[in-house]
Structure formats: C-alpha cells, structure tokens
Structure 1
Amino acid sequence: MTRPPAHDHAAEQAVIGAALLNPSVVADLAPTLAPTDFHRPAHGRLWETLCAMHATGEPVDPIALAARLAATGDLAKVGGAPYLHTLIAAVPTTANAGHYARIVADHARRRQVADLGVYFAEKADQGADVADVLATGRAMLDHAATGTQWAPLIPLGDRRHLPEFPAYVLPEWVAEHVYAVAEFTQTPVDLAGCIALAALSTAAGGRAEVEVRGSWREPTNLFTVVVLPPGSRKSAVFAAMTGPLLAAEKTLVERTKPAIVEAELAARVAGKTAEKAAIAAANADASGRDTLLAEATAAAMNADAVTVPVLPQLVADDVTSEEAASLLAEQGGRLAVLSPEGGIFATIAGRYSGTPNLEVFLKGHAGDMLRVNRRSRAPEHVEHPALTLGLAVQPDVLRDIADMPGFRGKGLLARILFSLPENTVGRRKIGADPVPEPIATAYAANLGALVATLAEWTDPAVLPLTPEANERVLDIERAVEPRLAPGGAWGHVVDWGSKYTGAVVRLAGLIHLAEHLRDGWGKPVTAETVERAALLGEYFAAHALAAFDDMGADKSTRYARLVLAWIERTGSTTFTKKELYRAVRSQIPTAADLDPVLSLLEVHGYLRHLDPPARTGAGRPPSPAFLVHPDVHQTAGTVHALPATAGRRPA
C-alpha cells in the first residue's frame, strides 16, 4: 500500500513529444489513450489539449500548443513553453509512439487495480456488505481489464468554477477603484465591477451609441444583475460605486435651478399676456375682433412654447413601469434603476397593478421609440429611451424571476448580463485597508466629468468603429453563430446569445467613453477596445449559462448537484446506490428518487454504471454500483482565491 503508483515518466514524455513532432500520432492514439491514463497531471492536461486541438482542425505543434495553453491560463501549470521542447527532445523516434502509449495505458490499468485493493481495505474496515463489495470489485476489475476510457465531463452548470470578473480590461481609473472597493469590503471583484459598468451606463446611456455598420447602432446602456446571498455587503459596494453619480446629479440640479426659475417666470409672464390678449379679443367689437384674435392666438402659442426644465435625475430605485416611462420622458430618455435589492422585478411583474408591464424595460434597453397615452395626463413620447439596470439580488430572486410571466418569453432575461460570483463570506479578511483617497477621488471626478460631458447632448453622439474594430466584431459574430444552432453550446439560451455581439459592442462603447472622458464622441472605437470588451463578453457568457441553468434547474438537477457534493466531500471513487441513499436520505425522500439522478449523472459523464457479475445462486441481487469520473475529484480540488487587492492585475 505504500509503494508509489505504477507509472513510466519517460514513456509519458515520449508520447506527447511524438505527437508534437508528428500530428498523425494524435489521430492514431486519441481513441485508445485518455488524459486520465497519464500519471502526471501536467501530461494529462497536455494530451487533453492536443486531442481537442486535433478534433477542431487546429495545427498541433509546440507554438500552437503553447498559444492555446497561454490562452486558457494553463501554460505555467504544465511547465511553460521550455518544457514542450524538453518533451520533443525526449523522443527517440516517433515510429514507436504506439509502443510508448501502450506502456502508459498499461500502467494506468495497474493503478486501477491498486485502487481496487484500497477499495477492498476501506470497505472491510467500514463493515460494508460483503456481497455488494465483491460485486462492485469484480465490476471494477473488469473495467480495468478492458481499459474503457472516460469521455469529457458535460457540466451541470456548476457555478463554483466560473471566471472572475476581468476588471483589468476597464480604464485604469475604473479598475483601480473596483479592486480597491473589493479589497476594502472583502467582496468579489465581480460585484464592484458590474456596478461600475452600470455606473458608466448611467453616465453615458442615452447620450451615445456605437455605429457598427449600415443601420446597425447599439446604445451604450446595460442591464446588469449580480447574484449574491444576504450578508454579502452589497449595499456598501453600491454606495461606493454609485455615490459619485448622486453627487453628479446634485451638480446638474444646482446648475439647472436658475434656468428653471427663469423659465417659470417667462411662462407666467407669457401666460398673463395670453390671458389679457384673450380677454381683449373677447370684448372687442366685430370690426376689430379678427386682429385681436390673431394677437391672442400668437400670445397663447408663445406661452405654450415656453418649456420649464425639470430637475435632472440620473438614478431611481424601486419604480413602477409607469413611473419609469414618465421619468424617461422628463429626463430626455435617460434613467438608471440601481439597487442592492431585486424588488424591481416583482414590481414590473405586477406587484402593485396585478398586471405585468415589461414594455418600458424592453424598449428602454433596445432604444426603440416609447409612446405612452393615458387619459389622466398628456401623452409621453421618448424617441430614443435608454434605461440602465444595475441590481444585486439574492439567489432566490434569480430562481423566482424565471417563473414571472413574460420575463423569458418576451425577452427581458435575454437582455440581462448576469454575474454569479463566488461568495466570500466566512473567508473575509478582518481590518482590510480602506479605499485610498486618491483612487476614490479620481473615480468620483472622472465619473462626474463623463456625466457632465454628455449631459447636454439631445441627439446621441455616434461612435464609429475603425475598420479593424469592425473586423473584430465580425469575428465575434462568426464565432457566436454556430453556438446558437440547435444542439449548439448556446442552443438552449438562443434568446440571450442572439444579443451577445450587441452587448459586446455596448461594452466597447462604454470602455471607449471612459478612456476618452471629454472627447470620446469625436474618436472612433478601436479594435483594441473591442478586444477588451470581448473579454468581458466571455465572462458574462459563462455566467449567463450558469444563471439560466439555475433558473431552469429541475428537481433531478438539484439532486444531482447534491450527489456530486457528497462524492467530492467523501472522495468516493466508487459507491453503491444503497451507500448513497444512506448518506442523502435526509434530503432525497426515497431511493426511487435517485434513479433519474444517477441516470442524469451518467449522461453527463460523471458516473459509469458497473455491470454486476452473473448471479450463481439464490439471494437478493447486489445494489447497483457506480464508478466516479476521475476528473470530478481533480476539479473539486481547485482552490478559490479572495478578491485581488487594489491595483493588482494579471500579468
């Protein structure tokens, strides 16, 4: 039991080195040699990547492999680019690649047999049922003898391994504040990052749009929703990230008050003048009435032409759809609903009216003309509405909104950029450093400058793309389209995926304006800016898949996650249905409820049913036994870090 696991390091190196020298080696060996057959994890990762590259038609050579590993963040984990050349140097001849592969596979089978011995010892110590243990053992031995390979796991949408918000792609003054707030509040970078995007959307929304090509234009407003449980300090982060918006709003109010006073006085004077002219026309005799009536009409039109400005309002909290429409009309088409709670969803679902009203939010995101007619007041017309939504909600709210009438069918959920960060509660550092004053001051000043620069625009500023940026957007469209096909990676969220490229363009517009605070409207959006936005798009795509999976998760999926958690917690490599039910029966009502769960996990590749041996006598049949995919425990061992400190960015 204390001997090292069977393996041949040189044979593993020779297999991968031969594949790098001769790409046909991958095609020949991929069907029979699995990544899990390699003893060294780095070798398994290299073989897995080579097989994936070959399957998609990519070139298989050291340069391409290094680039692929660098893009996935795995290059350093496998020893860096120099190790790839070490592997090539370790190959005596590529003609013997099949022989080296058989050595690797044979040692993998030997390790499986050794694991079987450990399994027997553990079950004996636990006093397990002997018949079940022997039946499972025989099936495990058959599996080792046949060398059956594992297919890659098909995720159940487990959010624990979602990417962290790439704040480093934001302009420096935004990124520094995001990292500093996350460090001080000991919250995920995702929370401050998404609210920062909502703040930029509030400042620029309705005042600028990106011209992609032809008549395709994207406004620069976003809907962002962060999902975190109670006690996650959402309110503190909201205050830090949106406080400067309220200060900018106050500045706009102070600047507008004199104009309001002047306009109100002009309106009263014009009104009195019109009233006097009307009285004079009414009292005139027939000979002079036509002249006085014309004068009264002109005076009335002059009085009606006087417009009294309204007090500027950038931010609202929990408003009804009707109130949002009125505010959009008053504020020239711009409004943001920012809140550390998710009550707005219940409101627009009809909490007060009893009838869902999504039109304002749908048109407010798309920028489509909004016209509201009510008997009790004058018609409200908004040519280009730009509504921003920035929320932080609890997980229960995420599951509830999927069932709210029209939210999915009418497209509201398809417009939301979801973020499901890992909760840091229980791992937070006590006494974290506050946000440095220069960073907070720069953020407040720059966000205020962006608001002030675009505040006077009535028609949106048009931001064109450079030819290179347009080509990059075309690349994104080409990559997205196959994912939307039936059976594609995004086939089940085609409504969200269809708006993906537009969302990336909007993000690029916001990054551009935040980089060029006072003259962004006069410069085209570059390819480098689109590339940074695309990194944000990849982040939101991963989180959206998890969010929709969460919203649509049925009972079997929830139970499957529960079973996976038990497997990871106990380190089980094999188990019987009887053992599993004993462990989870407090949460899963009956043993029969496990059948669809185990089938689901088999379909997704997490488990493999072990065929029972032929029965030779009377007695009850053994409990069904299952083998666990080795990658389940490798993935479970991932360590999650706390938020990066202020100013800390990836190399």
Structure 2
Amino acid sequence: MKEINKKLSEIPEIHPLSLIVDDATPQSLVSLMNKNRGKISILTAEGDFFERFKNKNIDQVKYDVYLKPYSGDLLRTDRISRDTEIIENPNMTICVTAQPSVIKNLPSTVHDRGLMARFSYFIPYDNLGYRDSRTLEIPKHVIDSYEKIIYKLLSWTTEDTISLKLSKDATDLLHDTMDEIEVEFREDGAFHDNLKGWAGKLIGQLLRIAGLLHVSNQAQSCDQITDVNNTINKDTLASAILLKNYLVAHAEKAFGLMQQSQPYENAEYVLYKIRNLNSPIIPKQTIHQNTKSKLKGKENLHQAFDILEYHSYIRQVVGGKSGTRGFVWVIRSY
C-alpha cells in the first residue's frame, strides 16, 4: 500500500485547461501559466489591462510576467506564502480591443521597461455614420474552415521546441528588409524619435507573423505537428513583410495618442472634418463652421491648423478676390 501511495503522489496534478483569461493579477497569471504548461492568453474587449498600470503602485506591478513571455525567457516567482513557481518557456498572447484612449497617460515606467514596444497596433478609422446595416454574413464554409484550422492548431503539442528556419531566398529578402529598416533609425529617419523602441522589434514581429502564416498554411495539409516543414519560403515571408508599412502607420498613430495633449486631439478632430469635406482646397471659414461645435474659440482652430501644417497634412494659404481670404490646401489626409 505504501508503494501504491508513493506512486500516486508522484503523478502530476491535473488542472483544467485555461486558454483565455480576461482580467487577472500578475501573480495569478503566473499560477495559471504554471498549471497550463506555460501558456496563457489575455483576450479582452475592455481597457482594464492598461488601467492596471495606471491605478496601482507601479513598483508593485510585476512587469516580468508580461515581458519575459515575449522571448520565452525563464520566469520565476518567489513568494513567502507559496511555493516557488518556475516556467522555463513561458508563452503569452495579449489582445486588447478597446478604445484608443486606454493607452493615454500611461506611466513612464511602462515605456521604459519596453512593454508598449512589444505590441502591434491597429487603430482603424471611425466609421460611425457610414456603416451599412445590410452587411453580408460570413459564409458557413469559411467559418467551418477557420474553426477546423484553429482546433487543429490547438490540438498540436510537442515536448520539444520545433525551430523554424528561412529558405535561402527568404533569408536574402529578410536582409534586404533589415537594411531598409535600419536607415530609418538615422537622425532624419522615421524611427529616430518616438518609434525607436517599437521599431527595434519590427523585424522580430514580421518574422513572428511569417511563422504563424507558415504553420497555418502547413496545418491545412499536415495531420501532426511533426509533419510540418520547418522551412519558411520566400513567398510566405514576403506576405508578412507586406504588413510592414501598415504596422508602422498604426504604430505612429498609437504612439502619437500616448503622447497626445488637448491641442493634438483638436488637430485630429479638424483633420477628420477635413477628410470628410473631401476637397483639395477648403476655405478656413468652412472648416470653422464644421468644427465650432467642439472647438470653442478660433484660437483653438488656428492652433490645430498650425499642428497639421507642421506635420505636413495641410498648408495654409491665402487667396480669393481680396487675396486675404484664408484657405487650407490638403497635402495628405491619412
């Protein structure tokens, strides 16, 4: 009986699988990951994830819980009241679909530790007022195919890490892309200032996307994870790199929001109105009539014009019969 009890005690405890959490403390995340073979997803439609960093004593927030899974670095927590928990290869997915305002006013430590540089950002234009109520439903065969692939990917597991590599021509494409990005870190480049930390991880993000595309494509024909070809071809990498400019544009907007003040919010609102007027040259008085409900006082509108002109969205000109009437010449609206 003692031998049986000993063998029973050596059997690892079985825990219910937890693929997704909505809101959890850093401490509970470590415990959940430890019970879930080092994996967890934070998927939420609210901004509580970012609010946590604003509302709590920033020194008490365990950044390592969110930072180390990005590269799979060993995660260890030591607590007096509980056993030490060690996760050798942590994996965490974070997806927050909230209003853009949740990333405003974040403490500097969030940026200094590199947390915000680890995200890809997607900030679509507001289509309120232009939505079509008669949208087509997603075809059933598309839903079925998607679910089939997702369930297959979730069922794949292996004790050993499977490394992906690039083909020769894909490697050449990668180096070409790296060289294109590198020059943008120079003093007059796109990544010289606010985007430096984020852009430093851009190549890594593109490779991650290429890996996901590769494995997803392979899953359509492979039954087991061990059947997957571990070489990413040039076409797959090229598909991922197509997202580069898109990711950069949205990151610029996101980091602009993080540093945004009221004058910049006004400028964004004015740009939105200019875009809706859909004309290359617009009288300033017309823009005033379209924005006066929100922008009180012409000085706020003029300040917005100055900001948009500084960022090369518009150019302020004068004309008309008298030669003194103010106009806005739209250079770019996006």
TM class by shorter-chain length? Answer: 0.7 to 0.9
Hey, what's the Cα distance between the residues in 1 that align with 2:146 and 2:176? Answer: 33
Q: CA deviation at 1:466?
A: 1.3
Q: Is the 8 A contact 1:349 1:355 kept in 2?
A: no
Quick check: 1:328 aligned with 2:33? yes
Greater mean alpha carbon deviation, residues 354-363 or residues 581-590: 581-590
Alpha-carbon distance between aligned partners in 2 of 1:599 and 1:352, rounded to the nearest angstrom: 38
Q: TM-score, normalised by structure 1?
A: 0.45
Are 1:478 and 2:179 counterparts?
Answer: yes
Contact 2:23 2:42 in 1 (8 A): yes
1:259-298 matches, within 5 Å, as 270=3, 272=5
Quick check: 2:122–2:250 contact (8 Å CA) kept in 1? yes
The change in CA–CA distance for 1:586 and 1:348 in structure 2 (over 3 A counts) is closer
Pick closer, same or farther for the CA change 1:579–1:311 going to 2, 3 Å: closer
CA distance in 2 between counterparts of 1:630 and 1:373 reads: 58
* Partner-residue secondary structure (3-state), 1:516: helix
Q: Report the equivalent of 1:436.
A: 139
Secondary structure at the counterpart of residue 61 of structure 2: coil
Change (3 A) 1:315 1:562: closer
Cα distance in 1, alignment partners of residues 243 and 26 from structure 2: 29
Is 1:548 matched with 2:248? Answer: no
The aligned runs of 1:247-646 (5 Å cut-off) are 270=3, 272=5, 305-347=10-52, 349=54, 351=56, 355-399=60-104, 402-454=105-157, 457-491=158-192, 492-517=194-219, 518-519=224-225, 521-565=228-272, 567=274, 573=281, 575=283, 584=291, 586-594=293-301, 596-605=303-312, 606-610=314-318, 626-631=326-331
How far off its partner does 1:332 sit? 1.9
Q: What is the DSSP-based 3-state SS (H/G/I as helix, E as strand, rest coil) of the residue aligned with 1:336?
A: strand
1:420, CA displacement in angstroms? 1.2
1:549 to 1:272, Cα distance in 2 relative to 1, 3 A: same
Q: Please report how far the alpha carbon of residue 410 of structure 1 lies from its aligned counterpart in structure 2 after TM superposition.
A: 1.2
CA contact (8 A) 1:508 1:532 kept: yes
Aligned mates of 1:628, 1:449 — CA distance in 2: 55
- Percent identity of the aligned residues? 23
- Output the CA distance in 2 between the equivalents of 1:332 and 1:468: 36
Provide closer, same or farther for how the CA distance between residues 626 and 462 of structure 1 changes in structure 2, counting only shifts above 3 A: same
SS of 1:335's equivalent?
A: strand
Residue identity matched to 2:17: P
Offset from partner CA, 1:253-299 (integer Å, 9 cap, x none): xxxxxxxxxxxxxxx965845xxxxxxxxxxxxxxxxxxxxxxxxxx
Structure (1 or 2) with the larger CA radius of gyration: 1
Tell me which amino acid in the other structure corresponds to 1:419: F
Deviation, 1:599, is: 3.2
CA distance in 2 between partners of 1:271 and 1:521 (Å): 41
1:602 CA drift (Å): 3.5
Instruction: Provide the aligned C-alpha RMSD in A.
Output: 3.3
| SS across alignment from 1:462 | coil
Change beyond 3 A, Cα 1:460–1:545: same
TM-score of the pair, normalised by structure 2: 0.83
Q: Secondary structure at the match of 2:109?
A: coil
Confirm or deny: 8 A CA contact 1:493 1:545 kept in the other structure.
Answer: yes
Map 1:173-188 → 2, pairs under 5 A: none
Could you give the per-residue CA deviations for residues 541-594 of structure 1, whole angstroms, max 9, x where no partner exists?
221112112222223322223444555566594656x88767755534444445
Alpha-carbon separation, structure 2, partners of 1:433 and 1:595: 43
Cα distance change, pair 319–348 in 1 and its aligned pair in 2 (3 A): farther
Local SS of the residue matching 1:311? coil
Secondary structure at 1:461 match in 2: coil
Go from structure 1 to structure 2 and tell me whether the alpha carbon gap of 1:555 and 1:458 turns closer, same or farther (over 3 Å shift): same
- Segments of structure 2 that go 5 or more residues without pairing to the other structure are none
Aligned counterparts of 2:54 and 2:26: Cα–Cα separation in 1 = 9
CA distances 1:241-264 after superposition (whole Å, capped 9, x unpaired): xxxxxxxxxxxxxxxxxxxxxxxx
Change (3 A) 1:384 1:603: same
Kept in 1, the 8 Å contact 2:315–2:331? The answer is no
Going from structure 1 to structure 2, the CA distance change for 1:367 and 1:569 (only over 3 Å counts) comes to closer
Partner of 2:172, secondary structure, is: helix
Shift of the alpha carbon at 1:392? 0.8
Kindly provide the amino acid, as one letter, of the partner of residue 156 in structure 2: T
Gaps of 5+ in 1: 1-267, 274-301, 612-621, 637-651
In the alignment, is the contact (CA less than 8 A) between 1:607 and 1:626 conserved in 2? no
Q: SS at 1:435's partner residue? A: coil
Q: 2:286, 2:191 → 1: CA distance?
A: 36
Judge conservation of contact 2:39–2:92 (CA < 8 Å) in 1. yes
SS across alignment from 1:338: strand
* Alignment partners' CA distance in 1, 2:58 and 2:311: 44
How far does the alpha carbon of each residue in 1:109-144 deviate from its partner, in whole angstroms, 9 at most, with x for none? xxxxxxxxxxxxxxxxxxxxxxxxxxxxxxxxxxxx
**Which 10-residue stretch deviates more, 409-418 or 537-546?**
537-546
Structure 1 distance, partners of 2:135, 2:20, is 30
Secondary structure at the aligned position of 1:374 is classed as coil
